[in-house]
A and B are shown apart, each in its own frame.
Chain A
């Protein structure tokens, strides 16, 4: 049944009046109009719906809205600041680390979360982290290169 759920979305407080049992991805895409988060499998098997909840990569297709009450959610729309791409986004752009672009928001967010914690993540650690995010076009080589490049940049600023 409808009730109000409050959380922080891309840095702003939002209140949504809906069934808190609904999955977050639908609330983001339909109720809040943020369509950068994609739907691929609806079963945590592809990673296209990845968002960050309090900094942790989360499958929004299988996370009830109630689980993010009071928490902070970051979607792809919230990553660039003042029209400036985040280094991870810029690295994806510069390495052409995508083809169709459908899995890209999930890839970028998961990579961002990893590098935020560990900008010096090794290739093996990056592979392990991204393993559950599927890309059918086969941009993997470039995604790995982009994440490594972004890590170097983020490591430099931290």
Chain B
């Protein structure tokens, strides 16, 4: 659709001029410098004699591309070519402390720390060069790591010559990083630094470590959550040549130098468990959670809810449900531990090596200084490797074994020991006033937090309450609110709450007989959200219409970590089978300054595709503590044939510091597809995933 048509369709003009002024006026979302990051820039950067820059960070690469974008920040501030920056990530001996990789924090929170370190290092290098060349620093310029005298380029010295591989023993206070306008590396797409090793098979993941004499451990697991080991008979396994059995409290493992032989021997172990699993399953869980709604705490309350409700002429109330969802990284949890010279070294796929270091030290009763965590490549995590139970298991066994021990979970263990995205019930009561505007909004979240439940729609009165932070950011065991372990899952809380809110907004728009985009825009004041919605509409070619229009188009907007997303989708629904075919998704995103545009788009494409899963097919089946999905045959994750035409739009907002990039693109998917399905067939699906059965059922009810 041409812009002119779009403007006609939405009935709005003059927007494109307004955007810029509004963006400049928008409040900056800037995180505080989190405590714990070292102030000394030498902790992050080392310049080798040949001019290569080693950049040490406690963040880890798990596919999201921060190896490249962090290197870009360092290259930018130091004025060295990107290919000369080598990233050393997630090694607790060699890298500065970090709180963990997750929450889309690598750039948003840690980026400014690294930029400041590199800027200070550059200023120190310039000062050293000035002394070396005997000119004032302000007469010097830097190109590709070579410092020369302005107008006299023959007088030059390289970073490598200045530093000679040593620490830079000088510090300068108050050095400011470059202004965005001076950027030459940041803001232009860069190829991924991890490409070669990933296409030629040489990339090392945790299970690929080759320490001589390594024993592979397979661990005796309970059949159900809520049960514990009562007795175990390992005699048959112990008779297998080459097999060792180790026991450390409740941890019982069968070890063999070959992984498959260890697994085979584990089958010979007879174990008895006792305990009473909770009598809940994937159907009764919602009643269980809803019953807890009374314990919800009010987070936000504004306006007089009662008075506002009395002005409502149309009331809409609905419960939105979403299932437990697995992380499903293709790389299982893997760790190799080696006890040597009084120190424990663990190679492990973990998102937070420093947190896991503390976790391992505590489990072994060692001082933290005696533990080193090394994070090789990670084959996907999405929050599922936030903690290091596998690292702890390997370390406990290595301590006893007198040999390196490798622990690699199999797929069944993955589906049992995962920290699932919590199931949740979101109850929203709302209504329209006489003018067809939203009169009030009362949202109660049970099972997860109310994070991102509000994106700033204008509600005369509103209340948001939730049963709290029930492990959707940290991790929780199976004994609390949830009968299964829960934890962070790509944009914790947001997928649940955006699905509920944006579905409900659409229902209200339909009741008001207003186009769902226009209805949203008329209730929004945040210029960033408005701008992103309009950018999505322009690319999509949104034509105004009241849902259900039969076209199968939907819209939703959401936010996470300071980033704003708006999605539009087109679906086809088979009324006979309930099967949903997603034909097209447009995703527009304002993430502030974009460090690596192509990297950002990779995350947007990945978020859309991963989002198809929680929206349409992924819901963990369980019964009385047993997880019934044990592999990818019954737990269906997105495949090539599901992939729609995808278009991504990066809404330029370089005046705003870089915000989150890894998680935000996934938050709209449940809602945008629910809304598109409703638009197609006039049926509202209130439960994720929207399986063919549920779509059929909704069509029947409609």
Contact = CB atoms under 8 A, between A and B. Distances in A.
Given A22-B260, A80-B200, A136-B330, A43 B609 contact: no
B260 A101 contact: no
Nearest to B605: A141
B198 A41 contact: no
Contact of A35 (B192, B204, B378, B631): B204
A134 B195 contact: no
Contacts of A136: 328-330, 380, 382, 610, 637
A75 B200 CA distance: 10
Given A43-B633, A136-B637, A102 B259 contact: no
Contacts of A141: 605, 609, 643, 646
Contacts of A90: 199
A92 interface: yes
A40 B411 contact: yes
Nearest to A133: B640
B648 to A, nearest CB: 10
A103 interface: yes
The main secondary structure of chain A at its interface with chain B is: loop
A70 interface: no
A30 B259 contact: yes
B27 interface: no
A152 to B, nearest CB: 18
B201 interface: yes
A55 interface: no
A127 B637 CA distance: 15
B380 A46 contact: no
A120 interface: no
A38 B607 contact: no
Interface string A99-113: 111111100100000
Interface in B205-246: 205, 207-208, 210
Interface string A114-158: 000000000000111011111111111111100000000000000
B332 A40 contact: yes
Given A41-B631, A43-B631, A75-B201, A99 B640 contact: no
B379 interface: yes
B205 A105 contact: no
B606 A99 contact: yes
Contacts of B608: 138
A3 interface: no
A48 interface: yes
Contact of B380 (A76, A100, A132): A100
Contact of A127 (B65, B201, B641): B641
A143 B378 CA distance: 19
Interface in A63-109: 75-77, 79-80, 85, 89-90, 92-94, 96, 98-105, 108
Given A130-B640, A138-B608, A26 B258 contact: yes
Contacts of B602: 96, 99, 139, 142
Contacts of B637: 134, 136
Contact of A100 (B196, B328, B378, B410): B378
A127 B638 CA distance: 12
B605 A142 contact: yes
A139 B606 contact: yes
B377 interface: yes
Interface string B627-654: 0000111000111110100100000000
B610 A137 contact: yes
B330 A103 contact: yes
Interface in B169-221: 191-192, 194-205, 207-208, 210
Contact of B202 (A36, A43, A137, A143): A36
B408 interface: yes
B201 A36 contact: yes
Interface centre among A30, A85, A92, A136, by most chain B C-beta atoms within 10 angstroms, is: A136
A69 B607 CA distance: 43
Contact of B606 (A23, A76, A94, A138): A138
A126 B640 CA distance: 9
A68 to B, nearest CB: 16
Contacts of B606: 99, 137-139
A35 B208 contact: yes
B610 A105 contact: no
Contact of B607 (A93, A98, A138, A140): A138
Given A22-B260, A26-B259, A42-B410, A105 B607 contact: no
Interface string A31-55: 1010111111111011010000000
B377 A45 contact: no
A100 B62 contact: yes
Contact of A140 (B330, B410, B609): B609
Contact of A93 (B195, B331, B631, B638): B195
A102 B207 CA distance: 11
B64 interface: yes
A22 to B, nearest CB: 6
B63 interface: yes
A73 B606 CA distance: 32
Nearest to A135: B330
A44 to B, nearest CB: 9
18 contacts: A30-B258, A33-B210, A35-B204, A35-B208, A36-B200, A39-B332, A40-B331, A89-B200, A99-B65, A100-B329, A100-B331, A100-B380, A101-B194, A108-B199, A136-B380, A136-B637, A137-B610, A138-B609
Given A30-B260, A138-B605, 11 more contacts: A29-B259, A31-B258, A38-B331, A41-B631, A89-B199, A96-B602, A98-B195, A100-B331, A134-B637, A135-B330, A140-B640
Interface of B: 62-65, 191-192, 194-205, 207-208, 210, 257-260, 328-332, 377-380, 382, 408, 410-411, 598, 602, 605-610, 631-633, 637-641, 643, 646
Q: What are the 8 tightest A-B residue pairs by CB atom distance, in nearest-first order?
A: A36-B201, A102-B379, A100-B63, A101-B198, A138-B606, A138-B609, A76-B201, A99-B63
